[in-house]
A = this chain, B = another copy of it.
Amino acid sequence: MGTALLTDHYELTMLASALRDGSAQRECVFEVFARRLPKERRFGVVAGTGRLLDALADFRFDADELDFLRSAGAVDADTAAWLKDYRFSGDIDGYPEGELYFPGSPILTVRGTFGEAVLLETLALSILNHDSAIATAAARMVIAASDRPLIEMGSRRTHEEAAVASARAAYLAGFTATSNLEAGRRYGIPTTGTSAHAFTLLHDTEKAAFAGQLAALGVGTTMLVDTYDITAGIRTAIEVAGPSLGAVRIDSGDLGVLAVQARHQLDALGATATRIVVSGDLDEYAIAALAVAPVDAYGAGTAVVTGSGAPTAGMVYKLVEVEGRPVAKRSENKASRGGRKTAVRRYKPTGTAVDEVITAGAATPELGDHDRLLQIPLVRNGIRVPEAPTLLQSRDHLEKALVTIPWEGLSLSAGEPAISVAFAS
């Protein structure tokens, strides 16, 4: 499917107006940035860039799209003719996926004629705002879980395609697996799952259900033990599978208390290697509260796919330069800084990030020994650069980036951004 109609009507009317008065050919720079981080967030995680580049490759107006645009009154005949051959032919630079961002960070820079570049606004923001919000929330859960694995299982709580993108963003942020099969197929993310309460209820007894699961999935499987009574469920699971059972899952109740009871019971039954997986409305705070409980893995759902209270990242796509001249809206409350920008993150010799410095223009500023340019080339003359990082590389990038921020920046509680962004004049 083409992606060109995943776009706001006004991008097309602006194009039509600009083609008519000639301004569509002006060379422009658009910038994606966030004015602020969502509440309680001390850092943001850039995510979605890879998906955006995929979608850009399918961003074209075929006969069906053009027919619709004419019938909707969005474009005139001249604009439709111009769109017929449209392919973005400009340049895009941006923070790599898995990079941290802060208020004002120039996350994406799109250069091209106004006509070419304005059309990408909606698609770029849809993808980056969604995926970055999910990845940011997911990264906080990864921090809270410390070294314990996290499984993303929120597909049923969000739009069916947003679920696939959420699984990708959570994996980028450090989750170890997802329940979403399409995310497995499309992005190679490990998928996992065993059974729900329905499987137990289907059978005449819990024991029959466990026996059926064991026969099909083997002793390494995870048995869901809280359909009826958890203590009885664990006893039955070990009776059926023996002490080599892979894991039990508890999906309701006071998970901290129940995990302790389950661990004692499993150990007493000789199932000392049987792991305990907990799930059920877990967010970063609930995960942190379980740090001292004998939990071996977490399943997180709703909170991941809804961004744990911040379902969108609030990034904007702003025109910052026209034919080399900086431009900015001047109304109150939304002051933006015009002009193309270059971003550098500065680090202490120990590797801890100090701040982010934004300079005007495209020239690389003088870099200290521990400074790093934050944008990388993504698209040149409309063609995706071949060196774009893979999802695994981005996941690794974020893992390393989280180590660099000062310890208070990793706190789950509300506070200032982990590092400050300064505009060098």
A positions within 8 Å CB-CB of B: 1, 3, 5-14, 16-21, 23, 26, 28, 30, 55, 64-65, 68-69, 72, 74, 76, 114, 118, 121-123, 125-127, 129-131, 153, 155-165, 179-182, 184-185, 191-199, 201-203, 208, 211-213, 215-217, 226-230, 252-253, 302, 305-307, 311-312, 314, 317-319, 322, 327-334
Given A68-B185, A114-B202: A9 touches B129 (CB 8 Å cut-off): no
| Inter-chain contact B155/A215, CB cutoff 8 Å | no
Among B13, B164, B229, contact of A6 (Cβ-Cβ < 8 Å):
B164
Count chain B CB atoms within 10 A of each CB in A8, A118, A123, A129 and give the residue with the most: A8
| Inter-chain contact A212/B121, CB cutoff 8 Å | no
| Inter-chain contact A126/B155, CB cutoff 8 Å | yes
23 A-B pairs within 8 Å (CB atoms) are namely A3-B160, A6-B155, A6-B182, A8-B179, A10-B193, A10-B195, A12-B181, A13-B195, A13-B216, A17-B199, A20-B215, A21-B203, A68-B184, A74-B193, A121-B198, A122-B163, A125-B157, A126-B155, A127-B159, A162-B162, A202-B327, A227-B330, A305-B312
Among B18, B227, B253, contact of A202 (Cβ-Cβ < 8 Å):
B18
Separation of A328 and B72 alpha carbons in the complex (Å): 50
Known contacts A10-B196, A17-B217; 7 additional CB pairs below 8 A are: A5-B181, A5-B185, A6-B180, A17-B195, A68-B185, A302-B312, A306-B311
Which residues of the other chain, B, contact A196 by a CB distance below 8 angstroms? 10-11, 14, 121
Separation of A18 and B48 alpha carbons in the complex (Å): 38
Q: Which residue of B lies closest to A305 (CB)?
A: B312
| Inter-chain contact A331/B161, CB cutoff 8 Å | no
Q: Which residue of B lies closest to A228 (CB)?
A: B330
Given A181-B68, A191-B72, A216-B76: A318 touches B198 (CB 8 Å cut-off): yes
A330: min CB distance to chain B, Å: 5
Count chain B CB atoms within 10 A of each CB in A162, A226, A253 and give the residue with the most: A162
| Inter-chain contact A162/B130, CB cutoff 8 Å | yes
Which residues of the other chain, B, contact A5 by a CB distance below 8 angstroms? 181-182, 184-185
Which residues of the other chain, B, contact A203 by a CB distance below 8 angstroms? 21, 23
A261: min CB distance to chain B, Å: 14
Which residues of the other chain, B, contact A230 by a CB distance below 8 angstroms? 331
Given A201-B322, A253-B332: A159 touches B130 (CB 8 Å cut-off): yes
A208: min CB distance to chain B, Å: 8
Q: Which residue of B lies closest to A184 (CB)?
A: B72
A212: min CB distance to chain B, Å: 4
| Inter-chain contact B319/A197, CB cutoff 8 Å | yes
Q: Which residue of B lies closest to A212 (CB)?
A: B21
| Inter-chain contact A156/B8, CB cutoff 8 Å | yes
